[in-house]
């Protein structure tokens, strides 16, 4: 053992080696290379981005853009590792949740992002999208929105009509439909509802909570998990879960149950559209938004952000590239990588010829516009009166809310107990 530690001295060498691992000089012949990290790993999507990058490079011959596609499952790990080594790519695609996490560690160059948004024009984006990615003080942004998705209640129009129902709007109507279709003996359930201990359940539950004016933080940034409004929402979710498939339902369970007609309603993101389109059922799909005190759509934006602490030349190039990607025709191409699934975050895209004429978008007709405009109604946990609290990122990372949802739907816990437990778990994380 002594020997092993004695060898530590010899390792001074390797420390030195590791220390000189800084990035290569920015410019040799005046040209700048920047890296662009994104999560579009699928081959067809990569091809689209490669085209965009080539187009950019031909417009900016002095800038090279290298793509770093990273699988979603490895995104966090990779960002943490690269960031610790000071090797984070200059431009990153991030979700709003991840943007908050990065902002907390001061990894985002908010000035550069603001400059990019300003040069494109902030009013070109949906307010809803910009709100999601705004910074804590509400006077800046953590990224430039490029696409997004929304989540709501999808329903089978024909099935609902067969029992005399129309689009369910209020909590009670959703419950009534769900009850009418549930018959466990025949494997029939009213609604495919996420109950798994995962982010998906948090997202679904948040729609009901926010539609009852219950948020996890108030305008002062104080924790408000254990309130009568939240309790009512959780009790409602528990009641609704009687009419969903038994056990923990996650993305596959919910999607598959809706697609194989186990349930005529499902809470899912717009990524249900491609599958429905493929089945040839586009016209039969309806979209409802949970409404009680108010209506709440859940949604996320995917944004391009610029890394803090890079050299000026790289920073300028990064800004240049982000602005390029925000051009309507380029954003349209980005969104149409997964038509229907990914949603526009700008009118300029929604109204563009290329977007309107896409066969998937077309097939859903008015529904496409309805979904796109629902972006304005997006509400998320931790976003209160235009303030996007960074600690909401920690609340989410703590996993307390999914656990709470899971324990009252699949587990046997009471609503009060689950709320109290979630509250104390979150308190521990945000101190």
Partner 1 sequence: MAMASSKKSKTTKKIFFYIGLLAVLGITLFPFFVMLMTSLKSSAEAISRTPTLLPQEWTLEHYRNVFDPVLFPFMMYFKNSFIVSLTAAAISVLFSIFGAYAVSKLKFKGRATINSGFYTVYMFSGLLLIVPLFRIISGLGLYNTLVALIITMVVQTLPASIFMLKSYFDTIPDDLEEAAMIDGLNRIQIIFYIIIPLSISGIISVFVYAFMIAWNDFLFASIFLSSSEKFTLPIGLTTLFSTPDYVWGQMMAASLLTALPVLILYGLSERFIKGGATEGGVKG
Partner 2 sequence: MKRKAKERSNAKLAAALLLPSVFLILLLIIYPMLVNVRISFFEQSINPNIDPVFIGLENYISILTDLAFWQSLGITLLYTFLTVAGSTVLGLAIAILFNRPFAFRKVSRSLIIASYVAPTISLVFAWKYMFNSGYGVINYLTVDIFGLFETAPLWFDEPVLSFVIVVIFAIWRYFPYAFISFLAILQTVDRTLYEAAEIDGASAWDKFKVVTLPAIMPVLIIVATLRTIWTFYIFEDVYLLTNQVPVLGIYLYETAFAFNDLGKAAAISVILFVVLFSVIIISRKRVSLNGNG
Q: By the criterion CB under 8 A, which residues form the site for partner 1? A: 1, 3-4, 14, 17-21, 35, 41-44, 46-47, 66-74, 77-78, 80-82, 84-85, 87, 187, 251-252, 255-256, 259-262, 269, 271, 274-275, 279, 338, 341
Contact region for partner 2 (CB under 8 A) — 29-37, 223-231, 244-252, 355-363?
244-252
Kindly state whether residue 219 participates in binding partner 2, applying the rule CB under 8 A: no
Contact region for partner 2 (CB under 8 A) — 204-212, 218-226, 247-255, 366-374?
247-255
Q: Which is nearer to partner 1, 262 or 346 (CB)?
A: 262
Kindly state whether residue 41 participates in binding partner 2, applying the rule CB under 8 A: no
Q: Which of 43, 58, 137, 252 binds partner 2 (CB under 8 A)?
A: 252
Q: Among partner 1, partner 2, none, what binds residue 136 when CB lies within 5 to 8 Å by partner kind?
A: none
Q: Which is nearer to partner 2, 93 or 196 (CB)?
A: 196
Q: Which is nearer to partner 1, 260 or 431 (CB)?
A: 260
Q: Among partner 1, partner 2, none, what binds residue 139 when CB lies within 5 to 8 Å by partner kind?
A: none
* Spatial distance between the Cα atoms of 407 and 410, rounded to a whole number of angstroms: 6
* Spatial distance between the Cα atoms of 50 and 355, rounded to a whole number of angstroms: 20
Q: What are phi and psi of 134, to 5 degrees?
A: -75, 160
Kindly state whether residue 4 participates in binding partner 2, applying the rule CB under 8 A: yes
At closest approach, how far in Å is the CB of 77 from partner 1? 6
At closest approach, how far in Å is the CB of 354 from partner 1? 21
Q: Could you tell me if 216 and 308 are in contact, meaning their C-beta atoms sit under 8 angstroms apart?
A: no
The dihedral region occupied by 296, where left means phi > 0, alpha psi between -120 and 50, and beta the remainder, is beta
Q: Which of 169, 370, 394, 421 binds partner 2 (CB under 8 A)?
A: 394
Residues binding partner 2: number (CB under 8 A):
44
Q: Could you tell me if 286 and 154 are in contact, meaning their C-beta atoms sit under 8 angstroms apart?
A: yes
At closest approach, how far in Å is the CB of 272 from partner 2? 16
At closest approach, how far in Å is the CB of 352 from partner 2? 38
Q: Which of 86, 121, 365, 386 binds partner 2 (CB under 8 A)?
A: 86
Q: Which is nearer to partner 2, 88 or 349 (CB)?
A: 88
Q: Among partner 2, partner 1, none, what binds residue 275 when CB lies within 5 to 8 Å by partner kind?
A: partner 1
* Spatial distance between the Cα atoms of 106 and 113, rounded to a whole number of angstroms: 13
Contact region for partner 2 (CB under 8 A) — 140-148, 192-200, 291-299, 331-339?
192-200
Q: Among partner 2, partner 1, none, what binds residue 46 when CB lies within 5 to 8 Å by partner kind?
A: partner 1
Q: Is the dihedral of CA 204, 205, 208, 211 positive or negative?
A: negative
Q: Among partner 1, partner 2, none, what binds residue 219 when CB lies within 5 to 8 Å by partner kind?
A: none
Q: Which of 2, 6, 10, 280 binds partner 2 (CB under 8 A)?
A: 10
Q: Among partner 1, partner 2, none, what binds residue 71 when CB lies within 5 to 8 Å by partner kind?
A: partner 1
Q: Angle 313-327-70 (CA atoms, 0-180°, nearest 5)?
A: 65
Kindly state whether residue 202 participates in binding partner 2, applying the rule CB under 8 A: no
Contact region for partner 2 (CB under 8 A) — 231-239, 243-251, 276-284, 384-392?
243-251
Which residues bind to partner 2, rule: CB under 8 A? 4, 7-8, 10-11, 14-15, 76-77, 79-80, 83-86, 101, 105-107, 184, 187, 196-198, 245-248, 252-253, 256-257, 260, 262, 308-309, 394, 397, 399, 403, 406, 410-411, 429
């Amino acid at each position: 053992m002594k020997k092993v530690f004695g060898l530590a001295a010899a390792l001074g060498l390797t420390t030195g080696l590791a220390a000189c691992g800084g990035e290569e000089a920015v410019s040799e012949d005046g040209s700048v290379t920047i890296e662009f990290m994104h999560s579009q790993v699928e081959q067809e999507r990569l091809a689209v981005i490669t085209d965009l990058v080539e187009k950019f490079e031909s417009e900016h011959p002095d800038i090279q853009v290298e793509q770093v596609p990273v699988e979603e499952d490895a995104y966090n790990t990779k960002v943490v590792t690269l960031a610790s080594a000071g090797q984070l790519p200059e431009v990153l695609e991030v979700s709003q949740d991840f943007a908050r996490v990065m902002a907390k560690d001061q990894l985002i160059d908010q000035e550069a992002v603001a400059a990019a948004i300003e040069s494109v024009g902030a009013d070109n984006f949906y307010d809803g999208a910009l709100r999601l990615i705004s910074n804590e003080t509400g006077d800046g942004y953590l990224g430039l929105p490029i696409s997004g998705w929304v989540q709501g209640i999808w329903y089978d129009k024909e099935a609902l009509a067969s029992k005399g129902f129309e689009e369910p709007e209020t909590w009670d109507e959703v419950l009534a439909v769900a009850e009418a279709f549930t018959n466990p003996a025949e494997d029939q359930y009213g609604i495919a509802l996420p109950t798994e201990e995962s982010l998906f359940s948090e997202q679904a539950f948040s729609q009901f909570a926010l539609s009852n004016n219950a948020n996890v933080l108030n305008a002062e940034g104080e924790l408000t998990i254990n309130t009568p409004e939240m309790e009512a929402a959780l009790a409602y979710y528990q009641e609704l879960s009687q009419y969903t498939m038994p056990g923990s339902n996650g993305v596959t369970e919910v999607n598959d149950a809706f697609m194989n007609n186990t349930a005529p309603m499902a809470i899912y993101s717009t990524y249900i559209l491609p599958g429905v389109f493929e089945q040839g059922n586009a016209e039969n799909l309806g979209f409802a938004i949970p409404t009680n005190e108010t209506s709440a759509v859940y949604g996320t934006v995917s944004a391009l952000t610029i890394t803090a602490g890079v050299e000026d030349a790289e920073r300028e190039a990064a800004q240049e590239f982000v602005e390029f990607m925000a051009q309507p025709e380029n954003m349209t191409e980005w969104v149409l990588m997964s038509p229907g699934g990914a949603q526009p975050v700008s009118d300029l895209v929604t109204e563009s010829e290329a977007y309107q004429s896409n066969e998937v978008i077309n097939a859903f007709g008015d529904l496409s516009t309805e979904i796109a405009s629902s972006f304005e109604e997006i509400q998320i946990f931790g976003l209160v009166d235009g303030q996007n609290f960074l600690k909401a990122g920690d609340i989410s990372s703590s996993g307390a809310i999914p656990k709470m949802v899971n324990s009252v739907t699949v587990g046997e816990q009471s609503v009060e107990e689950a709320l109290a437990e979630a509250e104390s778990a979150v308190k521990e994380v945000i101190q």
